[in-house]
A and B are shown apart, each in its own frame.
Chain A
Amino acid sequence: MKIHEYQAKELLREYGIPVPRGRSAATPEEARCATEELSGKVIIKAQIHSGGRGKGGGVKPASSPEEAFTVSEKILGMQLVTHQTGPGGKEVRRVLVEESAAVQRELYLSLLVDRSQKRECVVFMASEAGGMEIETVAAESPGKIVSCAIHPVVGFSPFQARKLAAALRLNAEQRKIFTDIVRNLYRLFLDKDCSLVEINPLAITADGRLLALDAKLDFDDDGLYRHPEIKGMRDQAEEAPLEVEAKNASVNYIKLEGNVGCMVNGAGLAMTTMDMIKMAGGEPANFLDVGGGASPEQIEKAFKILTSDSHVKCILVNIFGGILRCDRVSAGLIQAAKNIEMKLPMVVRLQGTNVDEGRKMLNESGLRFTVAEGLYEAAQKAVFLVM
C-alpha cells in the first residue's frame, strides 16, 4: 500500500527523522493559513501517489501567504501528468505546504527487502547522487550506489551507518545525526511492516543540517492487518474505482486496455490466460484472480466488476479448481447471470476439484455459454467472439 508524502513525513517525524516543518492543505485558503503559520518562503507540493511531480508542474515555490493561495489554487484540482501516472494524469486533491530549505547537497537513502536467495533481509541503499531517480543512477553509474544488508538476528549496528556515511562523505557532526536517522529508519521499517522507505533527496542544507526533503513509504499489504493506523492512511481516490471495488471484495483485479474480460483463479494462470489471449490475436481487458477461497458471492462481485467495464465484449472464465471448487464457481456465475442482465458472450472452461458438479450446474442453469476444454482453445474461442 502506498501513502502520500505528507503522511510519510508525519511518520518520519514520529520516528525522529528531521523533516521540514509543513502542513497539508486541501483548499487554497488552508494553504494560505499554513504559509502564515510557517512564516517565510514555502514550497507547495502536489500530493498524488506518483513520482516526477516537480517535472509535471506539481511543485512550486511561494514567498507569501497570498502567493501560496494563488499557486495552490492552480495546483489543486489539476490533472497532474508524470512519467508514472499515464497520459491521463492524476487529480490533485491535496498539497503539502512546506518551509523551503537552502540545499547544499542532495543524497539518496532507502531501505527495502532484498529478496534474492543469497540475502533475504532488509537492505539499506545510499547514494551521493540524490534528487534523481535511483533507477537512472543504477543504470548509468551503478558505482555511485552503496548498499548494506542488515542481518535479521543481529539487527542494526552503528558500523553500518558509518559505512554508508563514509560513502556519502558526511562530516563528523553529520555522521552522528545520520547514525540516528539510519537506526530510526530501520526501527520504522520493522515496526510498520514497510516494503520500501525512500528518502530522496536527503538534503544537506546550506547550514550543514540533514533534512528529509522528500519521502516515499510503501507497506506490505500482508502486514496491514496488524497496523490499523497505517490502513487508515489509504487514499481510495488514488486508485482506479473498479480496482477499489475489487479490493473490497478481496478480488485481485487490474484494468487493462483490451476487450476480452477474464476471470481466472490463481495469479499465474490469470497471467497465462492474458498471455494466451494475446497469442490468439486478442487483447485482455483485465487481470482478475478470484483467489483460492472465493465464495459464490465473490465470484458474483468479480463478474459485476468485469461487466461494468464498457470495453469488455466477451468474458472468458478459466478455472482450474484446486482449493477453489468448481461448484462454487458455477454457483457464483449462475447467481451473477440472474442478478445482472448478461448480454455478453461467455466462454467457460472448468477443470479440477468438483468439476463434474460444476459443469452439471452450469448445463442445467439455462445459461448460454461456449464450452472450452483446453487453455489455448478457450483463448481462441474468446478472441473469435470479439472479432
Chain B
Amino acid sequence: MAILLDEKSRIVIQGITGSEGSFHTREAVKLGTRVVAGVTPGKGGTELDGIPVYDCVGDAVAKQKANVSGIYTPAAFTPDAIFEAIEAGVRLVVCMTEGIPVLEMIRVKQALKGSGARMIGPNCPGITTPKVGKVGFMPNFIHKQGNVGVISRSGTLTYEVIWQLTNLGIGQSTSVGIGGDPIVGSGFTDILALFERDPQTEAIVMIGEIGGTAEEEAAEFIRSQVKKPVVSFIAGRTAPPGRRMGHAGAIISGGKGTAADKFKALEKAGVIVEKNPAELGQRVAEILQKKKI
C-alpha cells in the first residue's frame, strides 16, 4: 500500500525544462516513476525524453490525467505554481523549491484548505515509495521496499537514515521529507496519521531538528493517536542558541525548541529516542525483531 505515492500516481513536473527539474525528472524515471507530463509556461508542445510538456497544469491534468505535481520552479514563481496545481485539481503537490517567503506560505496554506489537495514541502527532498517511484531528489540507490515509514524535516540526514536502514536489510514503505521551513504543507502529525493507517507500515522513524515546536506537537499526537512504534532523532543538540542553522526552522531562542526539550517530549510520549543517529537503524532492527516474537 505505502502512503502518498502509489501505483495510481500520475506525476506532472512543474519546471521540468529547468536544470534541476530535468535532471531529477530523468533520475525519477530511472527509478520507474510514472512521470506523465511536464509544465513550463511558454514551452508547451515540446517534450523531454518523450514526456509531453504543457503550458499549464490544467492541460497536463486534462490530457495525461496527472494527479500528483512535483514543483522545481524558482522561488519567486513558486507560490503561483502551487496555486495553479491546486486549482488544476491534483491530489498531491510536492514542492522541492527553497526560499519561499513565510508570508507566501501562509497564503498557500489558506489555498490548500478545503481544496482536497495535500502538500509536501516546500524546501524538501520529496517522497519516495520503493518499487513505485519518487517525486523529489532523494538518491535512487538508498531505498529498499519494506515496512518502515520514514518522516523527516531534513534532506541529506534523511538519506543517511534510509541508507542505514537499507544496509541493515530493513526496507521502507514510504520516505517523506516534509521540509525545513517554518511553515510547511504537511507537518509531522499529518504524515504520522497516514503511516498509522497504512497496513504496510509496521514502524516509523521520525527525524526532527531544533527550532519551532513541530516535534512537541508530534509527541502529543503520537501519545494519543499512534500505536505503531516510533523511533526518533533530533539534529542540533550542540547548536548554539539564537542562530539560524541553514533552515529557517532551525532557530532556537528563549529556551524553546531545543533538542533537549524535544527529546524529553518524545520520550514522555513513549517514543524510542536515539541520540546517536548512527544507531537509529539498529534501534529499528530491534523493534522489528521484537514484533516478530
Task: Evaluate contact between B106 and A152: CB separation under 8 angstroms.
Answer: yes
Map CB proximity to A onto B228-243 as digits: 1 under 8 Å, 0 otherwise. 0000000111111011
Confirm or deny: B63 has a beta carbon within 8 angstroms of a beta carbon on chain A.
Answer: no
Is B209 an interface residue, CB under 8 A from the partner? yes
For chain A, residues 295 to 321, give those with C-beta under 8 angstroms from any C-beta of chain B. Answer: 319-321
Q: Find out whether the CB atom of A266 lies under 8 angstroms from the CB atom of B157.
A: yes
Known: A222-B99, A269-B154, A287-B239. 5 other contacts (CB 8 A): A116-B212, A122-B103, A223-B103, A268-B155, A323-B125
Check if B278 sits within 8 Å of A276, measured CB to CB: yes
Contacts of A271 in B (CB 8 A): 209-210, 235-236, 238-239, 245, 250
Q: List 16 A-B contacts (CB under 8 A).
A: A113-B102, A115-B212, A122-B106, A152-B107, A222-B102, A226-B101, A254-B240, A266-B154, A266-B157, A267-B209, A267-B246, A267-B247, A268-B207, A289-B246, A323-B137, A352-B142
Point out which of B101, B158, B159 has the most chain A C-beta atoms below 10 A from its C-beta.
B101
Q: How far is the CB of A351 from chain B (nearest CB, A)?
A: 7
Which residues of B are at the interface with A, using a C-beta cutoff of 8 A? 20, 24, 27, 75-76, 96, 98-103, 105-107, 109-110, 125, 137-139, 142, 152-160, 163, 180, 182-183, 187, 189, 207, 209-210, 212-214, 217, 235-240, 242-243, 245-250, 254-255, 275-278
Given A222-B75, A268-B154, A268-B157, CB of A116 within 8 Å of CB of B246: no
Contact A268 B180 (CB under 8 A): yes
In whole angstroms, what is the CA distance A222 to B100 when docked? Answer: 6
A311 to B243, CA, bound (A): 21
* Complex interface bits, A48-78 against B, C-beta within 8 A gives 1, otherwise 0: 0000000000000000000000000000000
Bound CA span A13–B85, Å: 40
Q: Are B183 and A120 in contact (CB under 8 A)?
A: yes
Contacts A120-B109, A252-B245, A352-B159 given; indicate if A292 touches B217 (C-beta within 8 A).
no
Residues in chain A within 8 A of chain B (CB atoms): 84, 113, 115-117, 120-122, 135, 138-139, 152-153, 190, 193, 195, 220-223, 225-226, 252, 254, 256, 264-272, 274-279, 284, 287, 289, 291-293, 319-323, 351-353, 374-376
Nearest Cβ in chain B — how far from A212, in angstroms?
22
B177 CB → nearest A CB, Å: 9
Q: How far is the CA of A57 from the CA of B22 in the complex (A)?
A: 57
Q: A152-B107, A322-B138, A323-B125 are in contact. Are A267 and B99 (CB under 8 A)?
A: no
Identify B75's interface contact among A225, A292, A351, CB under 8 A.
A225
Cβ A270 vs Cβ B246 within 8 A: yes
Closest residue on chain B to residue A84 by CB atoms: B242
* A284/B76 contact (C-beta < 8 A), A221-B248, A267-B250 known: no
With both chains docked as a complex, state the minimum distance between the C-beta of B29 and any C-beta of chain A, in angstroms.
15
Q: Give chain B nearest CB distance to A370 CB in angstroms.
A: 18
Contact B239 A268 (CB under 8 A): no
Partner pick for B159 among A139, A270, A322, CB 8 A cutoff? A322
Q: What is the distance, in angstroms, from A133's C-beta to the closest C-beta of chain B? A: 9
In whole angstroms, what is the CA distance A275 to B274 when docked? Answer: 13
Contact: B212 with A270, CB < 8 Å? no
Nearest A residue to B160 via CB reads A320
Q: Are B101 and A193 in touch, CB under 8 angstroms?
A: yes
B213 CB, nearest partner CB in chain A, Å: 6
| B275 contacts across to A, CB distance below 8 A | 279
A292 to B180, CA, bound (A): 13
Q: Which of A121, A226, A270, A293 has the most chain B CB atoms closer than 10 A to its own CB? A: A270
* CA A274 to CA B194, docked complex, whole Å: 32
| Chain A residue contacts of B243, Cβ below 8 A | 254, 287
A45 smallest CB distance to B (angstroms)? 22
A291 proximity list for chain B (CB < 8 A): 246
Cβ-defined partner of A195 (8 Å) among B102, B106, B157: B102
Complex Cα distance, B159 from A292, in Å, reads 14
Rounded to whole angstroms, the CA-CA distance of A86 and B290 in the bound complex is 49
**Nearest A residue to B155, CB-CB:** A266
Query: CA separation between A124 and B139, bound complex, in Å?
Result: 43
Q: Are B238 and A278 closer than 8 Å at their CB atoms?
A: yes
In the bound complex, how far is the Cα of B102 from the Cα of A303, in angstroms? 31
Given the known interface contacts A152-B110, A268-B156, A268-B207, the answer about A352 and B139 at a Cβ–Cβ threshold of 8 Å is yes
**Alpha-carbon gap, A205 to B38, bound state (A):** 61
Q: Is A269 a contact partner of B157 (Cβ separation < 8 A)?
A: yes
Contacts of A84 in B (CB 8 A): 242
CA A223 to CA B76, docked complex, whole Å: 9
Q: Is the CB of A222 within 8 A of B239?
A: no
The answer to whether B24 touches A323 (Cβ under 8 A) is yes
Residue of A nearest to B27 (CB): A353
A residues within 8 A CB of B182?
A: 113, 115
CA distance A219 to B285 in the complex (A): 45
Q: A267-B246, A271-B209 are in contact. Are A322 and B155 (CB under 8 A)?
A: yes
A325: nearest residue on chain B (CB-CB)?
Answer: B23
**Closest chain A CB from B250 CB (angstroms):** 6
**Which partner residue on chain A sits nearest B159 by CB separation?**
A320
Question: Which of B27, B98, B239 lies in contact with A292, CB distance below 8 A?
Answer: B98
- Contact of A276 (CB < 8 Å), options: B99, B103, B277: B277
In the complex, the answer to whether B277 meets A322 with C-beta atoms within 8 Å is no
- CA gap between A328 and B73 in the complex, in Å: 22
Which residue of the partner chain B has the closest CB to A254? Answer: B243
Kindly state the separation between the CA atoms of A373 and B14 in the bound complex, as whole angstroms. Answer: 36
CB neighbours (8 Å) of A274 from chain B are 236, 238-239
